[in-house]
Each structure stands twice: as C-alpha cells, then as structure tokens.
C-alpha cells in the first residue's frame, strides 16, 4: 500500500473515548480490508506525559504530545481526533481545520450553538473532511431500523419515544469537575444530561424520523451543590440532572424524550420506540443486537412483536464480522463509524453526521434548555 493511502491520526485525549477510537482504528485493517485508506496511529496527546506515554505504548501510537497545539502543528498528522471534554472541542477543532487537517470530533459538537457555529464555519471554509461521533447510528439494529423506515415499512409515523437513563450521580458525594466527573461541571460540559445523553437520542431521532420543529421541556437539578475538584470548595451545580421534553417533528409526529442520571437500577438504558400506521419498532441498548418489530399487515393469527436478531450476513455491517447468529457489541459502533469515515475519503462523500448536521442536534439541545428555563415552547430552528 502506498503512503498516500495512509491517514496519520493525531488523537487528543486518552480517556473512555480515546480507547474506543484507538480500538476502532486498530481493527479497521483486519475487518474492513477493502478500504482504500487506512489509519496509522501517529500520535496521542494529553497533558500528563507519563500517562499519555503509557497509553501510547498500550494502544500502539508512534509518538506523544502534551500540548494539542504542537500536535496540530505537526506536518506528519493528517487527521485530528478530538476525545476531550466538551469545553475543549471548539478550540481544537477550529485550529485543526485552519491547519488543513481532517477533524473527527466527539459529541456533543460543542457546549452551545454559538460555540459550534465557528467550528462548522472553520471546517467548511477549509474544505476538510469532518464527522461527529454519534456512534449509535452505527449499531447494526439501529441502521436496520433506518432502512425499514426509509423503505416505508412503518407508513406514516405518529409517535417517537426515547429514553437514556443512568443512576451514577445520585450520591451527593460525587464531585463536580476533574477527571471523569467533568460531566457534572457546567463549564466543562455545557449542560448535564441534555448535552451528554439526550444529544445522542436527538441525533438518532432526527436521523430516523426527520427534523424536530419545536420543544417543551422540564429539567431538574436534584443535588444543588457539590464539591468542585478544581477548587476543593462546595459550589452550586449548574447542570441539569434530569430532562424530559416533548416535541413536534417536521413530519407531524409527536416525540417524548426522557433522560436522567437518577434512575436507580439503570446504567445505560438507551431505548427508542417508533409507532407508525402499519408497523412499530423498538430498540434497547442493553440488548443491542435485537430489533423488535410489529407489523399490523401480518396475517392476524400470526401477528405479534417479532424479535429480529440482527446478526445475519445481509444485515447492516454484519458481513464484516463473524457468522450469522454471533453478536457484536458497543465497540463495533465506533469501528463502523471509522470505516464509514474512511470510505467517505475514498468516495469523496460525507460521513454523517458532519459538523453541520451535528449543529442541528445542538440547536435542539439548546431549545430544550431554553424551554425548561423559560417554561415555554421553543422553536428549534432546525433545518434537517
């Protein structure tokens, strides 16, 4: 393979997402051998030299940096992959685009619509390839849901219901700020469950069911003060711990969304159900290889919910994996997105969601937070 077919990755951040992305790049050549381009793990960047070196050794990066600006300045890096907390996305992405690098950015694109706009402008002005890791689109069962909807199997859609429930911040002893608990710090995260969890649900929903027109939301912060790891002081909590909103989609259907980190017993209960005039579908992350499907047009004696084990060779992405009946997992969603990104380089197409598309999800998140604050319906301004 010639050098021009190698895309040299520079990744910023080596936490949870740093691992999923590194795993994805490492698996591509094995499972997607037909791709023209392939990644090389050129450098990983984070502030702590010893720890980032240990990560580089573990995952096979050739070199390290401790300043993301130096990473971007290197001429042996083609693509910057942003796996840092949300407050770092904009600065890094804009600098990377201005340096002519491709940019892969973790979700949410930014903390606010205003912060995301110059990111969209920067990648468009520079004409660089870009994508945002809304990886749940690439669960084979979720992609199958999209194919069924696009084929008209459900008919007119009336209802869209989505949840994303967790239970890890119930204790008031969980601090805000710092490693892994930056999600509770509004400055770092931009919001709570809305930008963290509902952003995923909103991206999936608009991909499956079209634009969200307007929203009415309620949010709650159950634990109002927490110790901040940065200052050591007890400080007011600025994030939303829970959020419930309902909405109209552009296609006239109604949506109901709920997310919380206070649903005891739920770790990552991401679900959706869609009800159409002919058929309904539902999906649950805890059983991610299955898609539940009900078709009213079935013969009445046999009609009922069927559970499709999405593991056959003709199911989305599944020809790349094992044999029919054998499952894939969470990590595969990132491998699939990486594969789609590399395929987009080959086809000169886009790898959805682009920054511009992810900005639409940002608009819904912001309308949701505004609605909860003002206790009013808000138009999202989404153009899907």
Ligand X SMILES: NC(=O)c1ccc[n+]([C@@H]2O[C@H](COP(=O)([O-])OP(=O)(O)OC[C@H]3O[C@@H](n4cnc5c(N)ncnc54)[C@H](O)[C@@H]3O)[C@@H](O)[C@H]2O)c1
Q: For ligand X, give the closer residue by CB, 213 or 240.
A: 240
Can you tell me which of 180, 231, 349, 376 binds ligand X, judged by CB under 6 A? 180
Q: Is 13 in the site for ligand X (CB under 6 A)?
A: yes
Q: For ligand X, give the closer residue by CB, 111 or 248.
A: 111
Can you tell me which of 7, 9, 11, 14 binds ligand X, judged by CB under 6 A? 14
Q: Does residue 114 sit in helix, strand or coil?
A: helix
Can you tell me which of 15, 118, 238, 381 binds ligand X, judged by CB under 6 A? 15
Structure tokens at 271: 């679900």
Q: Is 178 in the site for ligand X (CB under 6 A)?
A: no
Q: For the packed helices 113-126 and 89-98, what is the interaxial angle rounded to 10 degrees?
A: 10
DSSP letter, residue 36 = S
Q: Does residue 72 sit in helix, strand or coil?
A: helix
Is the distance from CB of 74 to CB of 10 less than 8 angstroms? yes
Q: How far apart are CA 128 and CA 91, in angstroms?
A: 16
Q: For ligand X, give the closer residue by CB, 160 or 164.
A: 164
DSSP strands (E only) in 13-156: 38-45, 63-65, 79-82, 102-105, 130-132
Nearest to 170, CA basis, from 267, 238, 264: 264
Q: Is 99 in the site for ligand X (CB under 6 A)?
A: no
Can you tell me which of 40, 88, 256, 308 binds ligand X, judged by CB under 6 A? 88
Please list, residue by residue across 156-185, b when 16 or more beta carbons sit within 10 angstroms of its beta carbon and e when fewer do.
ebeebbbbbbbbebbeeebbbbeeebbbbb
Binding positions for ligand X, 127-146, rule CB under 6 A: 133, 135
Selected range binding ligand X among 81-89, 96-104, 242-250, 252-260, rule: CB under 6 A: 81-89
Q: For ligand X, give the closer residue by CB, 16 or 322.
A: 16
Q: How many residues bind ligand X (CB under 6 A)?
A: 24
DSSP strands (E only) in the chain: 6-12, 38-45, 63-65, 79-82, 102-105, 130-132, 157-165, 212-220, 225-227, 234-236, 242-249, 254-260, 269-276, 279-284, 290-295, 306-309, 378-379
CA distances, 101 to each of 104, 224, 227 (Å): 10, 41, 39
* Residue 133 Cβ vs ligand X, minimum distance, rounded to whole Å: 5
Q: Is 85 in the site for ligand X (CB under 6 A)?
A: yes
Are β-strands 306-309 and 234-236 bridged in parallel, bridged antiparallel, or unpaired? unpaired
Selected range binding ligand X among 43-51, 277-285, 305-313, 345-353, rule: CB under 6 A: 43-51
Selected range binding ligand X among 41-49, 120-128, 251-259, 359-367, rule: CB under 6 A: 41-49
Selected range binding ligand X among 45-53, 117-125, 250-258, 368-376, rule: CB under 6 A: 45-53
How far is C-alpha 271 from the chain's CA centre?
Answer: 14
Structure tokens at 380: 């999202």
Residue with CB nearest ligand X?
15
Rounded CA Rg of the chain:
21
Q: Is 166 in the site for ligand X (CB under 6 A)?
A: no
Binding positions for ligand X, 204-223, rule CB under 6 A: none
Q: Is 228 in the site for ligand X (CB under 6 A)?
A: no
Q: For ligand X, give the closer residue by CB, 101 or 213.
A: 101
Q: Is 17 in the site for ligand X (CB under 6 A)?
A: yes
Q: Which positions from 51 to 80 touch ligand X by CB under 6 A, shown as an x/- string?
A: -----------------x------------
Q: Is 46 in the site for ligand X (CB under 6 A)?
A: yes
Q: Is 177 in the site for ligand X (CB under 6 A)?
A: no
Residues within the interface to ligand X (CB under 6 A): 12-18, 45-47, 68, 83-86, 88, 106-107, 133, 135, 179-180, 182, 196
């Amino acid at each position: 393979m010639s050098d021009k077919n190698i895309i040299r990755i520079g990744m910023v951040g080596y936490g949870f997402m740093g691992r999923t992305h590194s795993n994805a790049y490492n698996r591509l050549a094995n499972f997607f051998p037909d791709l023209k381009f392939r990644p090389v793990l050129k450098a990983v960047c984070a502030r702590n030299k010893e720890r980032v070196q240990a990560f580089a050794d573990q995952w096979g990066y050739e070199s390290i940096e401790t300043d993301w600006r130096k990473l971007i300045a290197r001429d042996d890096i083609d693509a910057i992959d942003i796996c840092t907390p949300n407050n770092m996305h904009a600065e890094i992405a804009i600098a990377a685009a201005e340096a002519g690098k491709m940019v892969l950015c973790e979700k949410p694109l930014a903390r606010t619509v205003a912060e995301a706009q110059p990111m969209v402008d920067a990648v468009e002005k520079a004409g660089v390839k870009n994508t945002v890791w809304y990886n749940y689109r690439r669960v084979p069962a979720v992609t199958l849901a999209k194919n069924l909807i696009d084929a008209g199997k459900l008919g007119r859609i009336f209802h869209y219901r989505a949840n994303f429930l967790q239970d890890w911040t119930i204790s008031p002893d969980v601090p805000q700020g710092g490693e892994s608990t930056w999600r509770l710090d509004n400055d770092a995260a931009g919001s709570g469950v809305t930008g963290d969890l509902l952003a995923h649900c909103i991206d999936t929903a608009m991909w499956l069911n079209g634009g969200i027109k307007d929203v009415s939301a309620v949010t709650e912060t159950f634990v109002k003060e927490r110790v901040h790891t940065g200052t050591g002081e007890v400080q007011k909590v600025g994030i939303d711990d829970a959020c419930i909103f309902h909405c109209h989609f552009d296609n006239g259907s109604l949506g109901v969304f709920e997310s919380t980190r206070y649903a005891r017993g739920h770790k990552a209960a991401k679900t959706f159900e869609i009800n159409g005039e002919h058929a309904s579908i539902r999906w649950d992350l805890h059983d991610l290889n299955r898609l539940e499907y009900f078709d009213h047009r079935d013969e009445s004696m046999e009609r009922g919910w069927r559970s499709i084990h999405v593991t056959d060779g003709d199911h989305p992405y599944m020809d790349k994996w094992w044999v029919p009946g054998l499952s894939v997992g969470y990590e595969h969603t990132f491998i699939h997105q990486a594969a789609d990104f590399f395929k987009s380089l080959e086809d000169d197409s886009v790898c959805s969601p682009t920054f511009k598309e992810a900005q639409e999800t940002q608009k819904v998140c912001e309308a949701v937070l505004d609605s909860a604050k003002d206790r009013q319906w808000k138009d999202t301004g989404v153009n899907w």
